[in-house]
Each structure stands twice: as C-alpha cells, then as structure tokens.
Amino acid sequence: MEVERSAYFPTFDLKTIIPSYLKQCKTKGRNKTMKAFRAWVREQIK
C-alpha cells in the first residue's frame, strides 16, 4: 500500500527523502548513510 504521508512522521516528505538516502548508499555506503539518516531524523524531531 502506497500513501502520501507517513502515519508516524506526517511532516516528513519521505517520498523525496528516502530515495535521496538510497542513492547515497550506493556512493557512501550503507553504514555512513544510515548514520546520516538517523542524525537527520533526530534533528527533525527536536
């Protein structure tokens, strides 16, 4: 099921954010990208 907004993070534009981090995985590696994504989420929920 595809939805426009996340039920848990309704203010995040996940349709844009997730693909950009997936692209980063290919160049920077999974671990660095996941670390950056988690840091971004922490900043957004402050």
Q: How far apart are CA 26 and CA 3, in angstroms?
A: 26
Q: What is the amino acid identity at position 5? A: R
SS3 22: helix
Which residues constitute the domain of residue 13?
1-46
- Count of domains in the chain? 1
* Other residues' Cβ atoms within 10 Å of the Cβ of residue 45: 9
pTM: 0.72
Alpha-carbon distances, residue 33 vs 6, 24, 28, 46 (angstroms): 21, 6, 6, 20
* pLDDT in 10s for each residue of the chain, 46 residues: 777 788 888 888 888 888 999 999 999 999 999 999 999 999 988 8
Q: How far apart are CA 33 and CA 23, in angstroms?
A: 9
Radius of gyration of the chain (CA): 11
pLDDT at 16: 87
